Chains A and B, each alone.
Chain A
Amino acid sequence: MDKIETIQIIDGNQAAALGAKLSRVQVIAAYPITPQTPVTEALSEFVERGELDAQYVAVESEHSALAVCTSASIVGARAFTATSSHGLAYMHEMLHWAAGTRLPLVLACVNRAIGAPWNVQNDQQDSISQRDTGWIQIYARNNQEILDSVIQAYRIAEKVYIPVMVCYDGYILSHTEMPVSVPTQKDVDKFLPKYKPHTILDPKNPKNYNLVTLANPRLNAENVLCHGYMEIRYLLQEALQNSRETIIEAGNEFGKLLGRNYGLLWKDNMDDADIAIVAMGSLALEAIVASDMLREEGYKTGVVGLRVFRPFPGREIAEVLRGARTIAVFDKNISYGLEGATCSEIKSALYGSGVNAVIRNFIVGLGGRNVAARELADAVKKSLSPSADNTLNKECPEWICYI
């Protein structure tokens, strides 16, 4: 084993698989789907070569993949799965079940458009559609962030007992090679202690997990009043809200040990910016190129990249956007009938914060439609023009497409 961190030229899927391997996952269950497939192949290879001491369960569906992980996690094993698009949609029921059981699973979601019609290219509709399932959602900008976030995800999940979805853009990251610093196993072991399960499977101390639970609190056999369904739901919400501290702590601790700090969001050139561009995932890197173009033209632009979408970092967003007069939010998803999901969240976060900026929402890059920095820059400029009210509908998002 390498003694020092090495730089490897790898794609996003390899980064995710390496992250899982370095996290010493014990059970992997996954079903192949484009563009996630290489993750499943890489992990099976690690296991078959004996480089990773884990059970690889080659399931017959994504629904089963997450069911395997859920039950393995109840036993106390560290479990991992990866999927995309229709696979994630097929897992929907189990996503709720895993979060409801408070299991620290980690799922790599390789973001892909969802049908109909068929499309295997990138957008973020798949994971955004699962935002209300009670999972923490982290979006990576590049392959380094994929690897680092998978490792951090276990530390976060196992502290707050909430599953974590690490999302990264299909093809743009999953199939694009770039240099990635791969930490040593020793360093990762220092960062990520062994999992201490909160579930017990023991005939001497039998527990029955996820029994039918009534809405109201109910007495147990010892006459102790126990939570009803509603209290159990409240505790999940409370834990998810509070997980922000754990995510920040894990990001800082990772920085101390491995030199790369992580937070809930990141910013570029925001100090004097009065125009803010907000985006998530690799799109935020394209936004930096657009912002730099605009800077050259004399605009005071900056970029805010959302790393964590759940729990939504509302306070931090309001803080970082306090100097903005115009906010352009680019979404690779659409909440049909309203607007892009991140735009809605940002508007909600700014309510009552004193920030009174013009907020424009642009839907871009669906189904792998190319997003050029020039287009993003033009969209920002369009938001600024005095006649913006005539050319852009404030109520509805603007689509950067041919209609």
Chain B
Amino acid sequence: MTINAVNLPEKEYVLPGNRLCPGCALSLAYRHILKALDGQVVVTVPASCLTVLHGMYPVTAVTVPCVNTPFATTGASASGLVAGLKALGRKDLTVLAIAGDGGTHDIGIQALSGAAERQTDFIYICYDNEGYMNTGNQRSGSTPLGAISGTTPILGKQQNQKNITAIMEAHNIPYIATVNACYPLDLYEKVKKAKSVQGTRFMHVFTPCPPGWRFPFSDTIRIGQLAVETGWVILYEIEGGKFRLTSASESIARKGNLKPLREYLSQQGRFKNLTEDQINELQEMVNARWQLFLKRATNS
């Protein structure tokens, strides 16, 4: 059954009224992730915006068991949960680790890489808002070239993003997917699929951040869609080593109607100091990546 807005399970695991900023794409993503897993999870979370969503003791905004863990340890914490559940013979729970891009690309990459190399049986989701947003928007390994942040305040970031999904692909894990919080049904389907696979499953979730990226709270979905429509974000799956473009990206590939990247960049205050050279460099990077992915899609 294809999921749609009508037959999406009604049960909510994220209670209304959490502490995230208005327009936060993480709220949207997390809501659908937990729906897809029927709440039969134990979640482990490092310091991140998701910690803020979860609330402050003794009140929490989620109705699933959760283990908070120090910043660098998400992959290790998940490994411990998996080992503990196995040791006790419990097969009822999926271990779900969720961390931001700082917790994944930067401080948590060692523990994540270790867990993936050990083929730990869990789902790891990186929600990527392209910076340290919980501490007020500082540059991370996922902040794009030219973006202004608290630690690249005038010139913007001078380097390109780290390709975390490619790094995870190099771990030979059975399931990888990129998703976008602004395409919740695609996200739902992919999490469902991830649940059915054994081993380390990695998902990269693109989560636009209104205050950090400097766009109006009401524009989250539009920004997220523009990211896909311009090829900034490409939605795909690598299942058992087999690559395929999915949902909106697959449709754009079929129709060949990629929009100019400028449409996406110009909507965000963080890119306001981009030079023409940088815009061209980013456009060329997007073009090259798009061609590469089209080739991969054709070959597989």
Chain A residues packing against B (C-beta within 8 Å): 26-27, 29, 54-55, 57-61, 63-65, 67-77, 79, 93-94, 97, 200-203, 206-214, 218-221, 224, 226
| Residue contact A64 to B51, C-beta cutoff 8 Å | no
* Inter-chain contacts of B75 with A (CB < 8 A): 64
10 nearest A-B residue pairs (beta carbon): A75-B84, A71-B80, A60-B114, A64-B76, A72-B84, A67-B76, A67-B73, A68-B80, A26-B87, A226-B58
A18 and B81 alpha carbons, distance in the complex (Å): 25
Q: Is B207's CB within 8 Å of the partner chain A?
A: no
Q: State which residues 71-104 of B face A: CB under 8 Å.
A: 72-73, 75-81, 83-88, 90, 93
| Residue contact A73 to B59, C-beta cutoff 8 Å | no
| Residue contact A203 to B93, C-beta cutoff 8 Å | yes
A211 and B69 alpha carbons, distance in the complex (Å): 9
Known contacts A65-B76, A94-B70; 18 additional CB pairs below 8 A are A29-B76, A57-B83, A63-B72, A71-B67, A71-B76, A72-B84, A72-B87, A77-B84, A77-B87, A93-B72, A201-B65, A201-B93, A203-B63, A206-B63, A206-B66, A208-B54, A212-B56, A220-B59
| Residue contact B69 to A71, C-beta cutoff 8 Å | yes
| Residue contact B66 to A71, C-beta cutoff 8 Å | no
| Residue contact A68 to B79, C-beta cutoff 8 Å | yes
A17 and B83 alpha carbons, distance in the complex (Å): 19
A203 and B63 alpha carbons, distance in the complex (Å): 7
Q: Is B252's CB within 8 Å of the partner chain A?
A: no
| Residue contact B87 to A211, C-beta cutoff 8 Å | no
| Residue contact B39 to A60, C-beta cutoff 8 Å | no
Q: Is B118's CB within 8 Å of the partner chain A?
A: yes
Q: How many B residues, CB 8 Å from partner?
A: 46
| Residue contact B54 to A211, C-beta cutoff 8 Å | yes
| Residue contact B68 to A210, C-beta cutoff 8 Å | yes
* Inter-chain contacts of B63 with A (CB < 8 A): 203, 206
| Residue contact A57 to B80, C-beta cutoff 8 Å | yes
Q: Is B111's CB within 8 Å of the partner chain A?
A: yes
| Residue contact A77 to B76, C-beta cutoff 8 Å | no
A221 and B44 alpha carbons, distance in the complex (Å): 23
| Residue contact A74 to B84, C-beta cutoff 8 Å | yes
Q: Is B165's CB within 8 Å of the partner chain A?
A: no
A61 and B79 alpha carbons, distance in the complex (Å): 13
CB distance from B84 to the nearest CB of A (A): 3
A209 and B81 alpha carbons, distance in the complex (Å): 13
Query: Chain B residue with minimal CB distance to A72?
Result: B84
A55 and B83 alpha carbons, distance in the complex (Å): 6
* Inter-chain contacts of A207 with B (CB < 8 A): 65-66
| Residue contact A61 to B65, C-beta cutoff 8 Å | no
Q: Is B40's CB within 8 Å of the partner chain A?
A: yes
| Residue contact A77 to B72, C-beta cutoff 8 Å | no
| Residue contact A26 to B88, C-beta cutoff 8 Å | yes
Q: Is B110's CB within 8 Å of the partner chain A?
A: yes
Q: Is B49's CB within 8 Å of the partner chain A?
A: no
Q: Is B297's CB within 8 Å of the partner chain A?
A: no
Q: Is B42's CB within 8 Å of the partner chain A?
A: yes
CB distance from A35 to the nearest CB of B (A): 23
Q: A69-B80, A211-B54 are in contact. Are A60 and B70 (CB under 8 A)?
A: no
Of the A-B pairs whose beta carbons lie under 8 Å apart in the complex, a sample of 11, sorted by A's number, is: A27-B80, A67-B76, A71-B77, A74-B67, A76-B88, A93-B72, A201-B42, A206-B63, A206-B64, A208-B62, A208-B66
Query: Chain B residue with minimal CB distance to A73?
Result: B84
* Inter-chain contacts of A214 with B (CB < 8 A): 56-57
CB distance from A319 to the nearest CB of B (A): 40
| Residue contact B79 to A64, C-beta cutoff 8 Å | yes
* Inter-chain contacts of A218 with B (CB < 8 A): 56-59
| Residue contact A59 to B114, C-beta cutoff 8 Å | yes
Q: Is B113's CB within 8 Å of the partner chain A?
A: yes
Query: Chain A residue with minimal CB distance to B55?
Result: A211
Pick from B39, B57, B70: contact of A226, CB under 8 Å: B57
Pick from A26, A65, A94, A210: contact of B67, CB under 8 Å: A210
Pick from B60, B69, B81: contact of A208, CB under 8 Å: B60
* Inter-chain contacts of A94 with B (CB < 8 A): 70, 73
| Residue contact A55 to B67, C-beta cutoff 8 Å | no
A79 and B81 alpha carbons, distance in the complex (Å): 11
- Chain A CB count within 10 A is highest, among B57, B60, B77, for B57
CB distance from B86 to the nearest CB of A (A): 6
| Residue contact B88 to A60, C-beta cutoff 8 Å | no
A29 and B86 alpha carbons, distance in the complex (Å): 14
CB distance from B31 to the nearest CB of A (A): 16
A215 and B12 alpha carbons, distance in the complex (Å): 31
CB distance from B90 to the nearest CB of A (A): 8
Pick from A27, A67, A72, A93: contact of B111, CB under 8 Å: A67
- Chain A CB count within 10 A is highest, among B60, B65, B69, for B65
| Residue contact B58 to A64, C-beta cutoff 8 Å | no
A334 and B120 alpha carbons, distance in the complex (Å): 41
A315 and B126 alpha carbons, distance in the complex (Å): 52
CB distance from A297 to the nearest CB of B (A): 55
Query: Chain A residue with minimal CB distance to B117?
Result: A60
| Residue contact B114 to A75, C-beta cutoff 8 Å | no
Q: Is B41's CB within 8 Å of the partner chain A?
A: yes
